[in-house]
Amino acid sequence: MKTAISWSAGKDSCLALLRAREAGHDVQTFLTMCEADGFSKSHALAPEVVAAQVAAFGGVWRAVAVPEGVPGAYAMCFDAALQSLHDSGHTHVVFGDIDLQAHRDWLEPACERAGLQAVFPLWGLSRAALAREILDRGIRARLVCVDTGRLDARFCGRDYDAALLAELPQGVCVCGEDGEFHTVVVDAPGMAAPLALVSGGTRTVFARPPMRPTTLVFDELRLADAP
């Protein structure tokens, strides 16, 4: 089964990748929705970081730039990307969603319109159990974005490990599934080598509508050997 994965570069995508490959899916294509400047959506990762990560997994990266200021641009670009996957022989697309039904209800029809089958390897599983599995499998990640309306900014840049999980305040999801934080995977089973990253400091962004008003803190990561 020629399969693509919707790739955020974070821990949930990584676990979904491992589970999908174990289930027999030939996942080689990694699809990432990006800002117009090439940085990834939500996680704000530099394109060279995601490209290096995907290469370490032995995959091919498809970055889809979404133009700014165009109503409905994200959905149009996503639909076009799915159709391109179908036209290049893909039959399935893997997603790392856990239990947000509204998002699944949007993804499945989009895949069906393109003649693709959506696959959800993590769906319906306990968030706590998934957090344990991520650590038990040796997936190493770090927090690259924190929503300070839900989690203190000091967590940005921290390793996603047992110590961090123990420190999360009550009400904060251990997977960050409610948007409290996002991660980037730096090492995992199946990677040819760990991703060597360095931080250029943090950047603060004030979220605008239609997002809930809040302040996001991003860890500005780059490859260690980058100029």
- pLDDT tens digits for range 132-172: 999 999 999 999 999 999 999 999 999 999 999 999 999 99
Residue 134 within any structural domain of the chain: no
Buried b (16+ CB within 10 A) or exposed e, 70-102: eeeeeeebbeebbebbbeeebbbbbbbbbbeee
pLDDT at 214: 87
pLDDT of residue 208 exceeding 70, the answer is: no
pLDDT of residue 104 exceeding 60, the answer is: yes
Residue 129 within any structural domain of the chain: no
pLDDT at 95: 98
The more confidently predicted of residues 221 and 227 is 221
Task: Give the residue from 11, 56, 63 showing the smallest Cα distance to 34.
Answer: 63
Instruction: Specify the number of domains making up the chain.
Output: 2
Residues 115, 143: one domain?
no
CA distances from 27 to 58, 68, 88 (A): 9, 30, 14
pLDDT at 227: 57
pLDDT at 67: 96
Among candidate residues 86, 119, 152, the one where a domain is terminated? 119
How many angstroms separate the CA atoms of 190 and 108, rounded? Answer: 28
Lowest mean pLDDT of 41-45, 124-128, 191-195, 205-209, name the range: 205-209
pLDDT of residue 92 exceeding 60, the answer is: yes
pLDDT at 211: 62
Residues 83, 179: one domain?
no
Residues 156, 112: one domain?
no
Residues 175, 106: one domain?
no
pLDDT of residue 226 exceeding 90, the answer is: no
pLDDT of residue 4 exceeding 90, the answer is: yes
pLDDT at 26: 97
Residues 164, 113: one domain?
no
Residues 15, 115: one domain?
yes
Residues 90, 146: one domain?
no
pLDDT of residue 199 exceeding 60, the answer is: yes
Q: Quick one: CA dihedral 120, 138, 166, 212, positive or negative?
A: negative
Task: Kindly report the pTM of this predicted structure.
Answer: 0.95
CATH of the domain at 170: 3.90.1490.10
Residue 86 within any structural domain of the chain: yes
pLDDT at 69: 87
Residue 45 within any structural domain of the chain: yes
Residue 91 within any structural domain of the chain: yes
pLDDT of residue 127 exceeding 70, the answer is: yes
pLDDT of residue 209 exceeding 90, the answer is: no
Among candidate residues 61, 91, 119, the one where a domain is terminated? 119
Residues 75, 152: one domain?
no
Among candidate residues 55, 89, 119, the one where a domain is terminated? 119
Residues 146, 104: one domain?
no
How many angstroms separate the CA atoms of 97 and 121, rounded? Answer: 8
Residues 103, 188: one domain?
no
Residue 175 within any structural domain of the chain: yes
Residue 41 within any structural domain of the chain: yes
Mean pLDDT along residues 67-85: 96
The answer to whether 205 and 145 have CB atoms below 8 angstroms apart is: no
Write out the residue range of the structural domain in which residue 195 sits.
139-223
CATH of the domain at 85: 3.40.50.620
pLDDT at 207: 79
Residues 91, 161: one domain?
no
Residues 22, 99: one domain?
yes
